Structure 1
Amino acid sequence: MLAARTILNLFRGTQISLFQTYATNTKLVEITKDNTDIAIISMAHPPVNSLNKELLNTLNMSLMDVQKEKYRGIILTSSLPNVFSAGLDIKEMYNRTEKQLTEYWQTLQDTWLTLYNLKIPVAAAINGACPAGGCLLAMSCEYRVLVEGKHTIGLNETRLGIIAPEWFRSLYVDMIGYRRAEIALLKGTLFHPTEALEIGLVDELASDKANAIKKCKDYIESFKLIPRKGRQSTKMELRKRNSLWLKENRAMDLNQFVTFSQLPEVQAGLKSYIESLKKK
């Protein structure tokens, strides 16, 4: 979750569409494909792809629909020029009723479980800023390609006075190791592309979005000769621990979020952050 001006200053140039696009029920997500039967799902919620309830719902439905249509793989990216996703929408947490907070967090849980447990190959073409919840989406994919530039990636929740939940933290530890994750989480560290590659947070760097999409396709194509059933079963086993944790602890996780979000000091911090955005 980056400050609006920081992210908006990254918007330079225009995106070139390389694929035939067909619309979803809303304009929050765009689904494109070419003749390889690989679907590109692009978040399209300007200015920064903040993950509000509507975007999460649409993304969840899109992921499930694409898998049902038996595509060979999915590339998750953004239609915005230089931002992947700024993370969870702060407005979904500020001055909300318990019912609204509950519905929002349950939507996030559902969307993550869908993305993390997709049976088909899924890769992230990270074309720009990717903090907090954006980083969660990227980490939930099997493969991550980050476009080079001045943008950053990481879990920076502590900078906003909030905490990254257990299932966010577990993925982070899996990616970059416990000690590095511990320090990064405490400091809310955001990593530049070269740093992210060095620590294993991303798998490759790309010169631009088109190059990132190509590398994601190469990853998906690499499974052509791998029997589908064996690949799917192996993926599900590898992801069972993290997935099972959330399934078994959904109520506790939800209660922690709702309780923490309603703390006066947390609400005061969120209010200050939102007001600071309005001034920029």
Structure 2
Amino acid sequence: MIEVEVVDGVAVVRLAHGKVNALDLELCQAIERAARELDDPRGPVRAVVVTGAGRAFSAGVDLRRVVEGGALYVAEFLPALGAAFRAVFDLGKPVVAAVNGHAIAGGCVLAAACDHRVMASGAGTIGVPELKVGVPFPYAALEIMRFTLGPVAARRIILDGANHDPESALALGLVDEVHDADGLLERAVAVADRLATGIPPDTFRYTKAQFRRELNERLDRVTEPTTVELWTTAAADGRIQAFMDRTMGTRAASERR
């Protein structure tokens, strides 16, 4: 589900969950656990690179699980999704996303939670089509997108709901650089290593926490009964299934498992 390899103090965390690394309850819980473990300031890891196995970074939430699980699944899944995002976002060491392919919806937010994003050139796309699915953003996802892009760009990208090719993503600020796919991971590791060696770790951790303090204070005060309710409604009234049928077709939807 998650593979972790440590090379010269840089941990490469690879999502390896199905064909497109769709975010379900179990993967979210695994992401949170891995991020919390790697955050240990006394541990041997100086920096982290997050990437995906196969052709996708992550194609986002496993919508089929949401439809099948209904209210009980949604009530457990959404907090786990937010906790996974926050664990990566708050990790006190440099975190670099090596976006090796599609990074859609929750996959885009996961990349945005990292300190630096390197996307492979080629056919992969990145974006946040949640509103087109018919569901609202969980508050943690909304705040992370706003933090990374700024309020104006985040509002435009979220309301537009489009997926973007690498060059467009670079122009919009969704990624920080585009690199040849063959050297993507090597480049991401180099960026992570530079951040880890160029700044003392205690200074990096404290400064990163300073940047995030106000955002985390807001998140700690928020409860989201309406978000859970609207996701549950969308699972029951057919809008999520309709989105899957429109964008993936029946066969592609089943492959998300």
Q: TM-score range by the shorter chain?
A: 0.7 to 0.9
| Of 42-51 and 182-191, the range deviating more from structure 2 | 182-191
CA-based RMSD = 2.0
Q: Is the CA contact 2:85–2:140 (under 8 Å) kept in the aligned structure 1? A: no
Q: Which residue of 1 aligns with 2:255?
A: none
Q: Secondary structure at the match of 2:178?
A: strand
Q: For 1:178 and 1:74, locate their aligned partners in 2 and report how far apart those are by CA, in whole Å.
A: 27
2:32 to 60, 64, 75: 60
> What corresponds to 1:50 in structure 2?
22
Q: Is residue 130 of structure 2 the alignment partner of residue 157 of structure 1?
A: yes
2:59 aligned with 1:89: no
User: TM-score, normalised on structure 1?
Assistant: 0.81
**Pair 1:235 & 2:205 matched:** no
Counterpart Cα distance in 2 of 1:136 and 1:262: 21
Structure 1 residue 46: deviation in Å?
A: 1.7
Say yes or no: does 1:259 pair with 2:229: yes
| Structure 1 unaligned blocks of 5 or more | 1-27
Once residues 44 and 31 of structure 1 are traced to their aligned partners in structure 2, the CA distance between those partners, rounded to angstroms, is 10
Deviates more, 1:145-154 or 1:266-275: 266-275
Q: Report the CA distance shift for 1:179/1:44 in structure 2 as closer, same or farther (over 3 A).
A: same
Matched to 2:168, the amino acid is: E
The answer to whether the 8 A contact 2:29-2:84 is kept is: yes
Whole-Å Cα distance in 2 between the matches of residues 230 and 115 of structure 1?
18
Q: What are the residue-to-residue correspondences of 1:91-106 with 2, within 5 Å?
A: 91-106=64-79
SS of corresponding position for 1:262 = helix
Deviations 1:184-221 (A, max 9, x none): 2222111111111112211111101x522222222222
Partner of 2:238: 268
Q: How far, CA to CA, are the matches of 2:236 and 2:150 in structure 1?
A: 29
Q: Which residue is 2:119 aligned to?
A: 146
Q: Hey, what does 2:48 align to over in structure 1? A: 74
Q: SS of 1:71's equivalent?
A: coil
TM-score (norm 2): 0.88
Counterpart CA distance in 2 for 1:245 and 1:86 is 28
Give the direction of change, closer, same or farther, for the CA distance of 1:214–1:257 in structure 2 (3 Å limit): same
Of 138-147 and 228-237, the range deviating more from structure 2: 228-237
Would the aligned equivalents of 2:100 and 2:124 in 1 still touch at CA under 8 Å?
Answer: no
Quick one: distance in 1 between partners of 2:205 and 2:183? 27
Tell me which moved more, 122-131 or 222-231.
222-231
| From 250, 253, 256, the counterpart of 1:278 | 250
Question: Are the counterparts in 1 of residues 22 and 59 from structure 2 also a CA contact under 8 Å?
Answer: yes
Measured at CA, do residues 230 and 260 of structure 1 come closer, stay the same or move farther in structure 2, by a change above 3 Å?
same
What amino acid maps onto 1:50 in structure 2? A
Letter in 2 for 1:75: V
Flag structure 2 segments of 5+ consecutive residues without an equivalent.
253-257
Does structure 2 retain, via aligned residues, the 8 Å contact 1:49–1:86? yes
1:248 corresponds to: 221
- What CA deviation, in whole Å up to 9, does each residue of 1:68-90 have, x standing for no partner? 3330111000111x211010111
How many residues were matched structurally?
Answer: 247
1:265: Cα distance to partner?
A: 8.2
Quick one: structure 1 residues 102 and 264, their matched pair in 2 at CA, closer, same or farther if it must change by over 3 Å? Answer: closer
Q: Which of the pair has the greater relative contact order for Cα pairs under 8 Å at 6+ separation?
A: 2
Q: Which residue of 2 aligns with 1:180?
A: 153
State how far apart, in whole Å, the 1-side matches of 2:82 and 2:143 are. Answer: 15
Query: What is the aligned partner in structure 2 of residue 38 from structure 1?
Result: 10
